[in-house]
Amino acid sequence: MNAPLLQVDGISKSFRGLKAVSRASLEVPRGGIVSLIGPNGAGKTTCFNMIAGVFKPDEGSVTLEGRRIDGLRPDQICHAGVGRTFQLVKPFKELSALDNVIVGALRTEPDARKAAKAAEAILDQLGMLDKRDQPAAQLTLPERKRLEVARALATKPTILLLDEVMAGLRPTETDQMVAVFRELNQKHGLTILLIEHVMRAVMALSQQVVVLHHGEVIARGEPEAVVRDPAVLECYLGEEAAV
């Protein structure tokens, strides 16, 4: 396996005395796809928020390409190469799909015409070029989720953090998104860390899976091994199967 691009070492975060994440560690190899799974409230998004700079860890460290990034502002971490989506998609509703992506593209391309060209290419890659002039507020949920990914990709990340971008999608829509992420990873070398409840996507994409429960890592390894782990079956997959 390749050397870690992202290394998360023993990070913790508490809110009003409640420990949301407790000494969680994970590694994402360069060019790899790692999934972070677990029950609702396990601390997955809090981990993402510490990696992306929304929260500073109470303890532990986050290292990207050998450089400590914990404690930096979100814009500084984005500039360092971390792109992310959000669980609740919030595009600029009155702007067109294209203009939403241009906002992200302007981070690395100050020329507006070149940024627009880059944004069009990303929309095309995600099968949304025909929606380029449509206001974001008029897009369907699957289209808004694709737009969220497009905005993150427009920042030209080294690693992409995906927070439940396939939640609420039909199986065929999930498979389409899986195909997009596989292409981004295999053809363009994009490293991906994803939070996902849709096990169909987790099993199809992941090289490694990390399982959080009550803020602690309880299992890690290849997908086929993790889904057979008794602790994972008890705390998570049994719950998911019952839904």
What pLDDT sits at residue 238? 63
What pLDDT sits at residue 234? 86
What pLDDT sits at residue 3? 75
Strands 67-68 and 59-64, how do they pair? Answer: antiparallel
Domains of the chain: 1-81+163-243 (3.40.50.300), 87-156 (no CATH)
What pLDDT sits at residue 65? 95
Q: Under DSSP, is residue 144 helix (H, G, I), strand (E, B) or coil? A: helix
Angle at 211 between CA 143 and CA 90, to 5 degrees: 25
Q: Under DSSP, is residue 179 helix (H, G, I), strand (E, B) or coil? A: helix
β-sheet bridge partners, residue 194: 35, 162
What pLDDT sits at residue 152? 95
Rounded Cα–Cα distance for residues 60 and 74 (Å)? 18
Please say whether the beta carbons of 62 and 7 come within 8 A: yes
Please list the ranges in the chain whose pLDDT falls under 70: 1-2, 237-243
β-sheet bridge partners, residue 96: 135
Please say whether the beta carbons of 100 and 147 come within 8 A: yes
H helix runs in the chain, sequence order? 44-52, 74-80, 97-105, 112-125, 141-153, 171-188, 199-205, 223-226, 230-232, 238-242
What pLDDT sits at residue 241? 43
The two tokens of residue 24 are 């969680």
What pLDDT sits at residue 167? 87
Element housing 34 (H / E): strand 33-37
The edge-to-edge listing of strands for the beta sheet with 67-68 is 18-29, 4-15, 59-64, 67-68
